[in-house]
Amino acid sequence: MLAYLEQLVKIESPSTDKNQVNLVIDTLERDYQELGLNTRRIHQDEFGSHLVAETPRTDGPTVLLVGHADTVFPMGTLSTDMPFHRKGDTLYGPGVMDMKGGLTTMLFGVKALLESQKSIRGNIRVVVNSDEEPGSPTSRPLWPELAGDADWAFVFEWEPEQGALLANRKGVGVFHLDFNGISAHAGAEPEKGASAILAMVDKIQKLNALNNFDIGTTLNVGVVSGGELPYVIADKAKASIDIRVCNNSEQQRIQRSLEEICSNDNLPGTNCTLTGEFHRPPLEPIEATKELMAQVEEVGHSLGQDISWISAGAVSDANNISAAGVPTIDGMGPYGGRAHSPDEFMSIPSLFYKTTLIAGILKRLVG
């Protein structure tokens, strides 16, 4: 497993490099075929191909296993800032945790089940997409089709705390505000102008008041721009906002408030145009998820580990799969930390434990 993980990490696969991502897909497709799974690719123009691998079809239930082949690190990171290396029980390298470790866990979990059982009574469908890091722009619309008939889903993002899995993730949206005003000479006739920058500042203050840290609602104005010259009243300004919400009712509240704030032009001569969307809804447990959580806890207990449940502010494909009505559990990859940084790491013991856990879960559900 460690040798396989090293092989995957050393295939650098930034989302923007289609050919490199496809090298990871090539490797995974070959190895799932060797396990007897039928594979197909969903080709993309801008990104790498999405991989679908399935066991021969039966009339039994279906388990969906999900990972992604792309990383955030640019080509050359492996040979400069982040060489693959080991210190004790910890591995370091670009994508070692997010999510080459999860891909290894998923493959070897399926391998363990199929090599220990002459047959299975259900179906395993593996989906590895190529564009998760930039928000799954081409794979996101496919989830209703790929997950629609699944009885359960497991996503192999990393485990953020040892012994903890995820049944809750915040939803996220990115919105853009474009402001128009009236330009004028700032010294000669400022009264004839209307500043788009002042309009933007007014809206930003109102948006900031929507934050509710107690329940986990956050609005971050991360990018602003406006004007061209200090002696000209600005007739253009822009702001981009990241919004995170913990549940669907809060998402609806924020959406309504956002539209109301942007539609009211409080500064004469200015207006605001709102674009963007919540591209990943909150991951919230449904009743069937709670039943699945109980089964996962039982398997974990049989392996000598108590499983806890936590929420996360970061998002994943689990958000959209759950929105398709499938009971979904995330965090099935190994434990690690410092994602998307030069210090990204992964725990070796957790790699083995999580592989055993998913093999045990698969045995219970379709074995």
Rg (CA), the chain: 23
Is 17 in the active site?
no
Pairing of strands 345-347, 336-337: antiparallel
Tokens standing for 122? Answer: 């259900």
145, 152, 234 from 61: Cα distances, Å: 16, 9, 60
CB 63 within 8 A of CB 55: no
Tokens standing for 218? Answer: 């956050």
The active-site residue, picked from 12, 132, 133, 284, is 132
Q: Is the peptide bond before 99 cis (omega within 30 degrees of 0)?
A: yes
- pLDDT per residue of the chain (367 residues) written in tens, 0 to 9: 999 999 999 999 999 999 999 999 999 999 999 999 999 999 999 999 999 999 999 999 999 999 999 999 999 999 988 999 999 999 999 999 999 999 999 999 999 999 999 889 999 999 999 999 998 999 999 999 999 899 999 999 999 888 899 988 999 999 999 999 999 999 999 999 999 999 999 999 999 999 999 988 999 999 999 999 999 999 999 999 999 999 889 999 999 999 999 998 789 999 999 999 998 889 988 889 999 999 999 999 999 989 999 988 888 999 999 988 899 999 999 999 998 899 999 999 999 999 999 999 999 999 9
> In angstroms, how far apart are the furthest CA atoms of the chain?
86
The active-site residue, picked from 70, 98, 131, 235, is 70
Is 31 in the active site?
no
Q: What is the pLDDT of residue 163?
A: 86
Q: What is the pLDDT of residue 118?
A: 86
Closest Cα to residue 361, out of 315, 294, 312, 308? Answer: 294
Going along the chain from its start, the domains and CATH numbers come out as 2-170+283-366 (3.40.630.10), 171-280 (3.30.70.360)
Q: What is the pLDDT of residue 166?
A: 92
pTM metric for this prediction: 0.88
- Write the burial class of residue 306 (CB in 10 Å: 0-12 exposed, 13-18 middle, 19+ buried): exposed
